[in-house]
């Protein structure tokens, strides 16, 4: 089992994943809403778009931009069940447990926090 820090370091070795960053508009949104609100958004997005056993539009359910959590999902390979399977060996076709959802949200929030520290 890898730590969040190890997962983020591994993701940075992927040219595609490492290319994602928060825009200034995303950063302003995070500052305006606060991390607690962003965490609630992440929980909602993961629960509704990623956790179900069957996702009709899997692979296309997460926009590439428009919300800091969407960017984080792509940066962290938590954007669809295919990426979750490839990067974290999370099986497709099974509903994500509450614990799995919590771990995904924790990873997304850690990525966002790191992005907010950058200038």
Secondary structure in 3-state letters for the chain: CCCHHHHHHHHCCCHHHHCCCCCHHHHHHHHHHCHHHHHHHHHHHHHHHHCCCCCCCCCCCCCCCCCHHHHHHHHCCCCCHHHHHHHHCCCCCCCCCHHHHHHHHHHHHHHHHHHHHCC
pLDDT for 1 beyond 80? no
pLDDT at 2: 84
Residues in the chain: 119
pTM for the model = 0.94
pLDDT for 59 beyond 90? no
pLDDT for 104 beyond 80? yes
**Residues above pLDDT 70, as percent of the chain:** 98
pLDDT for 28 beyond 90? yes
CB 45 within 8 A of CB 83: no
pLDDT tens string 68-94: 999 999 999 999 999 999 999 999 999
Q: Scanning the structure block, which residue is given the tokens 């825009």?
A: 23
């Amino acid at each position: 089992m890898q730590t969040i820090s190890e997962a983020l370091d591994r993701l940075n070795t992927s040219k595609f994943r490492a290319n994602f960053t928060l825009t200034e508009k995303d950063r302003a949104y995070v500052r305006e809403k606060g991390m607690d609100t962003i965490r609630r958004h992440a929980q909602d997005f993961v629960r509704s778009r990623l956790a179900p056993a069957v996702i009709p539009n899997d692979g296309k359910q997460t926009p590439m931009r428009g919300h800091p959590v969407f960017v984080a999902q792509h940066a962290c390979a938590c954007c669809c069940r295919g990426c979750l399977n490839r990067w974290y060996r999370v099986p497709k076709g099974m509903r994500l447990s509450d614990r799995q959802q919590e771990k995904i949200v924790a990873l997304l929030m850690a990525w966002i926090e790191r992005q907010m520290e950058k200038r």
